[in-house]
A and B are shown apart, each in its own frame.
Chain A
C-alpha cells in the first residue's frame, strides 16, 4: 500500500528554520517526483515546490513565495524527501503535505502528470 508520512512540524518563531520530512513506502520511491503543498488555516491549497527524479537531475522548482528560503531534497536510499524551510514568516503557517507524482518525458525533460497519493500533513505554526 502506498503511504507517505510527514513529520517535523511544530511551533517556531519568525526568522527561524524548520525541516520537514516525508517518508514513503509501498512503491519504488526513485521512480516518482515528490511535491510539497501547504494550506493556511481555513484557506485553500497552495503548491510549494517539487523535486524531480534522479535520472532527471533531481532538480527542483519552487513557488515564488518560498523561492530562496525553502529547499527540497531527496534521499532515495531511505525513501525520504525533506523540505528545509529557512527565514520562516508568519504567513508560512499552515498544514504542509507531501505528495508523489508520476512523471513523463517530453523532449528530454521530465514533467509531472498529477498528484495521486498524499500524506496526512504536518502543522507548522510561525508565531512570536
Chain B
C-alpha cells in the first residue's frame, strides 16, 4: 500500500497569508494525486486532481504541484471560507489512500 504523509497536521494562519501543505508518498508515482477540502460536518470537496489541475469552480488562489513522492497544495491568499481540513489522496494504486489531513484554523 502507498502511505501518504501530510505535513503539518495543523496550522494557524491569518486572512491573506500564503499557506502551503505538503503530501509525501511512500512510493513514487505520476500525477494521480488529488486534494480535498472538508469543512466540519460536510462532505469533502475536490480542489485539485492530476496533482495540478484545478477542479471547475474552485478559486484560482488554490494550486497544486509536484510529482514522484512530493506534492504540495498552496493557497496564495487565505480567505475566511478556507478555514477547513485538507486531505491529499492517491489514485495510482489500490487501495486508494489518503493523507492524515491538515487542519487550517484562524490565528
Give the interface of A toward B (CB within 8 A): 35, 44-47, 61, 63-64, 97, 101, 111-121
A112's partner among B36, B91, B97 (CB-CB below 8 A) is: B91
Return the chain A residue nearest B87 by Cβ: A45
**Are A97 and B94 neighbours in the complex by a CB distance under 8 Å?**
no
Q: Residues of A contacting B44 with CB < 8 Å?
A: 45, 97, 118
* Contacts of B6-63 to chain A: CB distance below 8 A: 32, 34, 36, 38, 42-46, 49-50, 55
**Are B87 and A114 neighbours in the complex by a CB distance under 8 Å?**
no
CA distance A98 to B73 in the complex (A): 24
Return the chain B residue nearest A50 by Cβ: B96
**Are A114 and B98 neighbours in the complex by a CB distance under 8 Å?**
no
A44's partner among B45, B87, B96 (CB-CB below 8 A) is: B87
B95's partner among A63, A111, A120 (CB-CB below 8 A) is: A63
